[in-house]
Amino acid sequence: MLNSEKILFALNDMDDAWLERARARLGYQTEGEGSRRTKRRILTFALAATLILALGASAYAVKTAVASPEAAQKVALQEIEVWKEMGLISPDISFEGDPNAIVEIEERKGSDYWYGRLFNHSYDVRWYLGPIDWGDGEPPADLVRHKYGCNLEVDTLTGKITQAYIDARPEEDAEPVGSVTLGGDPDQPETAEKRTLYFYDNFDDIFPADMTVDRFLTLLAEYWGFSGYRLADTVDETYKEAPWSPVAADSLLKDMPRGNIDNYYLTVFFDGDQEGAPMYLKLTQFPGYVQLNFGTGHAVG
């Protein structure tokens, strides 16, 4: 990139005739030969200042490219398309209509609980799934059910999504893979009101069924501009103790332990992350839908 010194040298080497034409366009009157050398020096600095201001404005424009909720919505949808093209997520993912909410998040410095990571100014763009059938009757008819929902945090400095929650509802004829019954009075079972909640395994609605942990994290590293990644192991201070062994990188992503059991997730370090703070990857089965969650905002450890 040009700096001010290079600009000054470049302008100082320009032909006098070109500078005179530039002076005229700036509104200066042609002077005699005796004052041209002084005027040339003044004009050189004036033109340099104009160029420097223009370059500075361009740099500022990049830093504030996501300067409004409307811009955040547009960028979030663009980045989702980038993920589809990369093969990171399913090409079928789409979010209907305008977002339900766009929440501005101020820049903040994480505490030790967050390993001191700096969270840049961002917008959290949200499309909601709509009502979920939790076994307590049908929701009002005017509430819209969507196939997909999300929370996407768009970094205003980079235009990248740095944290994502992507939800997917199963098809109406999908078979549940588990259930749990809640409520009821054990002392009066005949009058107890109970609810049965059903769990599904439709993660292939969010990412390809053959996606491996390694492939997913390699693509994430590419998207975020890192050179690679490393899964945390028991030797790391941040490793979360859990009843499972560390997940193998070549295992299928959909087969990793689910977050609804002991809040399990993968802790990941990305090569080239200047803060050296861990990130995370998590799958969760909620009653009535599944969720993929990854990024910088998890209180890992």
The answer to whether residue 208 scores a pLDDT higher than 60 is yes
Packing angle of the helix pair 4-12, 33-63 (nearest 10 deg)? 150
> What's the average model confidence in pLDDT over 232-239?
64
Pair type for strands 161-168 and 118-119: unpaired
pLDDT tens for 138-184 read: 555 556 789 999 999 999 988 999 999 999 999 989 999 998 887 76
- Would you say 167 and 149 are in contact if contact means Cβ atoms under 8 Å apart? yes
Look at 43-47, 56-60, 210-214, 226-230 and tell me which has the smallest mean pLDDT: 56-60
Asked if 273 contacts 234 with a C-beta cutoff of 8 angstroms, the reply is: no
Please give, one letter per residue, the 3-state secondary structure of the chain. CCCHHHHHHHHHCCCHHHHHHHHHHCCCCCCCHHHHHHHHHHHHHHHHHHHHHHHHHHHHHHHCCCCCHHHHHHHHHHHHHHHHHHCCCCCCCCCCCCCCEEEEECCEECCHHHCCCEECCEEEEEECCCCCCCCCCCCCCCCCCCCEEEEEEEECCCCCEEEEEEEECCCCCCCCCEEEEEECCCCCCCCCCEEEEEECCCHHHCCCCCCEHHHHHHHHHHHHCCCEEEECCCCCCCCCCCCCCCCCCCCEHHHCCCCCCCCCCEEEEEECCCCCCCEEEEEEEECCEEEEEEECCCCCC
Read off φ and ψ for residue 60, nearest 5 degrees.
-65, -40
Contact 252, 277 (CB under 8 A): no
Q: Please, what is the average pLDDT of the chain?
A: 75
Report the pLDDT value the prediction gives residue 6, as an integer from 0 to 100: 36
CA 257 → CA 41, 123, 236, 277, distances in Å?
Answer: 70, 30, 19, 23
Cα 226 to Cα 53: distance, rounded to the nearest angstrom: 32
The residue count of the chain comes to 301
Q: Which of 7-11, 210-214, 233-237 has the lowest mean pLDDT?
A: 7-11
Answer whether 130's CB lies under 8 Å from 119's CB. Answer: no
Q: Does the pLDDT at position 281 exceed 50? A: yes
Report the 10 Å Cβ neighbour count for 274: 6
The rounded distance, in Å, linking the Cα atoms of 192 and 280 is 41
pTM of this structure: 0.72
The confidence score (pLDDT) of residue 133 equals 64
pLDDT score of 127: 95
Residue-wise pLDDT tens digits, 243-268? 455 688 899 999 988 766 556 778 88
Nearest to 300 by CA among 244, 238, 234: 238
Read off the pLDDT of residues 31-60 as tens digits, 9 standing for 90 and up: 555 455 545 554 454 544 444 444 444 433
pLDDT at position 269 is: 86
C-alpha span between 168 and 288 (Å, rounded) = 9
Round to whole Å and give the CA distance between 254 and 90.
13
- pLDDT band for position 114 (50/70/90)? low
Q: Is residue 271 scored above 70 in pLDDT?
A: yes
pLDDT at 83 over 60: yes
> Residue 28 — pLDDT band, cuts 50, 70, 90?
very low
